[in-house]
Structure 1
């Protein structure tokens, strides 16, 4: 009996051991299956990323191709420009940089010194009251169109040093005083007096002043013996107003 009991016990323990090993194996299989699924998911994600990168690389390759084509076109244009410049330079005399700079400077100064000038006069006798602006209605020259025959004002176009001159004539037995004004300030005066003689007299004044672009320059009557004192005739006196940029 004892031997039989021992055999039964051994058989029981053996079956229990087999069952335990089988359970551990199942657990290991489940763990491996979980790991494989996780790695497969990661692999799928990597494949998606690789596909996206391939698309981006293809787009960059296409952009590089377009840029190369544009560079080729630009190189052709530059080559064409170079040929044009080389051809145009064939008849240009050689000059040093200092000579070119000096020539350009002289040209600029000459333009600034001579391009601003005007000369206007009255087409006939006029009647002006005190402080009334002379409206010179005939323009002999106005290089930059800065004198306004509508209101009698010269609008300074360029800041610089200017010369302004006015000549006025007084009628027989009359006198008048004319003033050159800049922005309402008296800068010069001319006084023509024929009051005591049966004759026509003239007077002139010239000023040299610094003026800023936008300043208003005009001539007005300060006072006179009569409202109709200004003489301006072809064969006697031209009452006129002139100005030019000195430098």
Structure 2
């Protein structure tokens, strides 16, 4: 649309430039009109350039985050998992203080989270988008060992929606174990698959 307006202005200016000037008064009026048209074209070119640069920057930047939980954690029912280490966060949309990702654009996103638990412990978690349960994952092991569990979900997220992992309302003692604290394996990640307006 902006490009069509730009072409229209160019044609108008060319037409104004080729007009014959009959007298001084008409000449002044034509020069003023020509200057106004040139300023209008400059504004439109500036706006078009800005739109193109914004599209290029948003395409290059992408939307993705990855965070980890580096410590043994005990959580009650309906408790948000606060992943304390941000590995990567394009656009600073993940808040490690509250464990929430805020979608900068509307579209289809993919989220994945991994938990560990150990010896007769349970961890029961769910993915929530603006407090709506999108998916859930249960992990339990009855032997003296650790077990990981990973879930992947693809869902629609509106711009400004908050996305997080929390425990379900089923168990009052969820144990998120980290079998090797120097290399955290408990994680939460997400990225934009397709932006939609």
TM-score w.r.t. the length of structure 2 is 0.66
Name the residue aligned to 1:139. Answer: 86
Name the residue aligned to 2:137. Answer: 190
Q: Does the 8 Å CA contact 1:147/1:155 hold for their aligned counterparts?
A: yes
* C-alpha distance in structure 2 between counterparts of 1:113 and 1:209, whole Å: 22
* C-alpha distance in structure 1 between counterparts of 2:183 and 2:152, whole Å: 21
Identify, as 1 or 2, the structure richer in helix.
1
Residues 84-108 of structure 1 deviation map (CA, whole Å, 9 limit, x = unaligned): xxxxxxxxxxxxxxxxxxxx8xx95
- Worse overlay, 232-241 or 144-153: 232-241
Q: Does 1:217 align with 2:140?
A: no
Q: Does 1:163 align with 2:110?
A: yes
* Stretches of 4+ aligned residues off by more than 6 angstroms: none
Q: Does 1:244 align with 2:191?
A: yes
5+ residue gaps in structure 1? Answer: 1-63, 79-103
What are the equivalent positions in structure 2 for 1:149-160 lying under 5 Å apart?
A: 149-160=96-107
For residue 201 of structure 1, the aligned residue among 140, 144, 147 is 147
* C-alpha distance in structure 1 between counterparts of 2:76 and 2:151, whole Å: 20
| Residues 198 and 206 (structure 1), Cα distance of their counterparts in 2 relative to 1, 3 Å cut | same
Q: Does 1:175 align with 2:175?
A: no
Larger radius of gyration: 1
Name the residue aligned to 2:62. Answer: 115
Q: Does the 8 Å CA contact 1:168/1:190 hold for their aligned counterparts?
A: no
Q: Does the 8 Å CA contact 1:160/1:245 hold for their aligned counterparts?
A: yes
Alignment RMSD (CA, Å): 3.3
TM-score w.r.t. the length of structure 1 is 0.53
- Worse overlay, 182-191 or 111-120: 111-120
Q: 1:181 Cα shift?
A: 0.5
Q: Which has the higher contact order (CA 8 A, sep 6+)?
A: 2
Residues 98-139 of structure 1 deviation map (CA, whole Å, 9 limit, x = unaligned): xxxxxx8xx958954861000001121112111010111100
